[in-house]
Structure 1
Amino acid sequence: MPRRLSSLAAALVVGLVAAAVVANADPAAAAAPRPYAVQGDCAGRPATAVGMAAGYCMGLVWQGDGTDGPRTPRGLSPLANGDWLVTDLGAWTAGQGAVWRLSFDAEGAPRLRRLVQGLSLPHTVARGPDGRIYVSEMNRILTLDPDAADPQASVRTVIGGLPDNRLHDNRHPLSSFIFDGDGALLVNVGAPSDRCVDAQGRPHTTASGACIDSAETAQVRRHAYLGNGRWAEDSTVFASGLRNSIALVRHPSGTILQGENSVDLTTPDHPYDEINVLRRGGDYGWPYCVDLGTPLPGWSAAQARCGQRQRPVALLPPHAAPLDLLYYDGAMFPELRGRLLMTWHGFRRTGGRIVAVETDGQGRPLTDIGGRYALYPRGSAPYPTGAPSVRGKVLTPGWDLVAGRQPRGSPVVMAVAADGAIWVTDDRSRAILRIARK
């Protein structure tokens, strides 16, 4: 290994075993992050041992040691000079989040500088139609200038008053957003409960029999663009019946896709997560229906009215937990151009994967009937009879826990670098990784 890579690899792994991480939303998150062992080279970065599809490797850009840098890295956005912006959830507590700037010294070693702190559960960071940088917090969308002398002083609220989760009272507090073709902001507002039932499994309903949580939440809102970095505070409901729409993407043709994290029944093999094509005014079934139209326990068929709600375009493995969708347009992997990349963040047997899905000309996933999905540590399971499943390949088939070598993958957000490499955050392991050509 060249001296630069050798010294960088050593710096990346020193002290990681003792590092602490804030609690996350799954049982594994309370443990200290496991280090990625590195050996060899992955296109200029220390290579991890993660088993990859043929022709790909995963390099380690940075992993936290408990003393500096993001505690819970989530969003990623490249800057023109080769630096990166990274959002840091911090903790599932208000005021602990931050935005960091990741740069590299002359030897290629990572350097992190905190630009903004005191944020509440920041997630998405993206460049807007006006060229400015925008970030989603739990209850607002803000803008900041990463090049300002004092980035903290440059923070300005763009849209405020999004539903506040009152800390742990809300099951899905994170906001995320994408920009539509006309510049409008499409903003996720997650459901405040898992499936709108009480401890006895009885529905929480209004006088009309509808879920009490569905009136102003469990939806994607549309805020019209007013120009010059301004959006309407008032919004319209773009789509509803969506439990958790952290994963949103717009295709150049105008297609809007959403990755649905379905409800948390105790069974590991049901219900299935979903990919939905969002249409303005569509109702996608939460909390009444799952899969291709099955009423959830606690809701009768008459209450659920599944036949009147939009069906998913494809099912994903149960508890896969899609957290990001990205159409690949880079130069490094011509075979992936136009494909839909997904992160599956789930901590059960189906999660810890990045998948490249074939699409049609409008960006909609191509599907198969009678497919199977992979399970860790080995094996597979079938989708329901007659159900459409995404057609594609897993780029990270070996991202399961291997003692002494690697943690189970927990990929969150991806971004494509100028050279076409795919960068991804791993929040449970406090890591930023890079997929490159082997």
Structure 2
Amino acid sequence: MPRRLARIAALAVLLAAGGTCAQVPPPAGVVRSEAADFRVEVFAAGLERPWGGAFLPDGRLLVTERPGRLRLIGTNGRVSAPLAGTPAVETGGQGGLLDIALAPDFPDSRALFLCHAARVEGGALTRLTRARLSEDATALEAVRTVLDATPAQARGRNHFGCRMAFSPDGGRYLFLSTGDRYVEMGRAQRLDDLAGKVLRLTRNGRVPPDNPFAGRGDARGEIWSYGHRNPQGLAFQPGTGLLWASEFGPRGGDELNIIRRGANYGWPLVTHGVNYDGSVISERRSEPGMEDPVRVWTPVISPSGIAFYDGAAFPSWRGNLFVAALNRPALVRLTIQDGRVTGEERLLPGLARLRQVLVGPEGFLYLLTDEPAGRVLRLRPA
């Protein structure tokens, strides 16, 4: 790898992984914000780089740890031993065991999906895996690969994407984000390549016949949208059916997008950011035929997981979009109207690098902190 590219890659890994500074305790007492007052508590601790989470029907929480472990957190916050049967993962750089999502019919099937980095012949790639949670919730069974985001890449272990969302029509389709894999950013524009895309699949990994590029010999039928850098947030907006995504920019130009069928989001032909060394990627900020972001953050916030709030515990937050931010750490609250961001509030600035935000079954917010001694923080009404 050329020396300049190696330095840039090292900086990218540092920005994504974060430092090892002392852990900041949550604020004591009531936190007063623009729309709601709340308290912050440590719900669970002792996790290493928690990345994704999914609530079981009984209120327990499955959490992935990036080094490759899956744990179950009880309703009392007790963390289990690692579950057996988790798939092998590639843990270099930004790789590891990343997102988790329950199948919509989980109460009957006990099926779940994992997105993770995997090593294959030729290098590493983003992999979608399906499994079944054992009846005693101590192991994964019937583990099988559903999709590999080919081609594999020999160099670099960055930009895997790896966020999942089921369609609001009963979960008929699974949407999955993939990163551009960083080294060859132009992969995001190639339609014969699954890097830098949002994919749409059936739960068995098949290509829906109404996907925009299905049946084309020069394109992968799994692709729903393309031209993405590293989308790590994916969520459907209740009541509208719109799919929203948060996406890491380079140095500047983080994005919030509405994901549309067959659309090109421009990367790297269009961007609001520059390379980590300050060099220009593209002079273009917009281009006819390419989707403009709904919101751009410069300086960056490194937006990871997102969630629309639809709970009852915080009535004044209903319909708001929450963004877990890693750099300039904060929980970002956005008000949304007619596909536009109408307001922004940054909650808990500097508390911790936040990787994911989840809405719990009781309507509380749960935050996964991207720390070596990771925590699950819980926001309760004051």
TM range (shorter): 0.7 to 0.9
The one-letter code sitting in structure 1 at the alignment partner of 2:148 is G
The one-letter code sitting in structure 2 at the alignment partner of 1:56 is F
Q: How does 1:58-77 map to 2 (within 5 A)?
A: 58-64=40-46, 70-77=47-54
1:135 to 98, 106, 114: 114
Give TM-score, length-normalised by structure 2. 0.76
1:172 to 1:334, Cα distance in 2 relative to 1, 3 A: same
What is the match of residue 122 of structure 1? 97
Partners of 2:160 and 2:230 within 8 A in 1:
no
Q: CA RMSD in A?
A: 3.1
- Alpha-carbon deviation of 1:49? 7.7
What is the match of residue 177 of structure 2? 188
> Quick check: 1:280 aligned with 2:251?
no
> Quick check: 1:310 aligned with 2:281?
no
1:87 to 52, 59, 64: 64
> Quick check: 1:26 aligned with 2:8?
no
> Quick check: 1:218 aligned with 2:196?
yes
1:288 to 1:278, Cα distance in 2 relative to 1, 3 A: same
User: Which is worse superposed, 23-32 or 325-334?
Assistant: 23-32
d(CA) in 2 for partners of 1:158 and 1:29?
Answer: 27
Deviation string, structure 1 residues 126-179 (Cα, Å, up to 9, x no partner): 222322322212232223333435754514225122247658614202422211
1:166 to 1:240, Cα distance in 2 relative to 1, 3 A: closer
What is the match of residue 111 of structure 1? 79
- Alpha-carbon deviation of 1:323? 0.6
Instruction: Tell me the percent identity.
Output: 19
What is the match of residue 319 of structure 1? 300
1:214 to 1:151, Cα distance in 2 relative to 1, 3 A: farther
1:356 to 1:179, Cα distance in 2 relative to 1, 3 A: same
SS at match of 2:378: strand
d(CA) in 2 for partners of 1:109 and 1:218?
Answer: 36
d(CA) in 2 for partners of 1:316 and 1:430?
Answer: 26
Q: How does 1:351-362 map to 2 (within 5 A)?
A: 351-360=328-337
1:109 to 1:247, Cα distance in 2 relative to 1, 3 A: closer
- Alpha-carbon deviation of 1:411? 0.7
What is the match of residue 434 of structure 1? 378
d(CA) in 2 for partners of 1:24 and 1:213?
Answer: 18
- Alpha-carbon deviation of 1:122? 1.9
SS at match of 1:310: coil
- Alpha-carbon deviation of 1:357? 1.3
What is the match of residue 392 of structure 1? 344
- Alpha-carbon deviation of 1:30? 6.7
Structure 1: 5+ residue stretches without partners? 1-22, 39-46, 65-69, 91-96, 197-210, 265-270, 368-390, 401-407
d(CA) in 1 for partners of 2:365 and 2:112?
Answer: 20
Deviation string, structure 1 residues 223-253 (Cα, Å, up to 9, x no partner): 1x2xxx5231674321111101111111232
d(CA) in 1 for partners of 2:187 and 2:113?
Answer: 31
The one-letter code sitting in structure 1 at the alignment partner of 2:346 is V
| Higher CA-based Rg | 1
The one-letter code sitting in structure 2 at the alignment partner of 1:113 is A
SS at match of 2:316: helix
d(CA) in 2 for partners of 1:305 and 1:35?
Answer: 40
Deviation string, structure 1 residues 302-346 (Cα, Å, up to 9, x no partner): xx9823321112223422111112110111100001111111112
> Quick check: 1:289 aligned with 2:270?
yes
> Quick check: 1:332 aligned with 2:332?
no
2:71 to 100, 106, 109: 100
> Quick check: 1:248 aligned with 2:238?
no
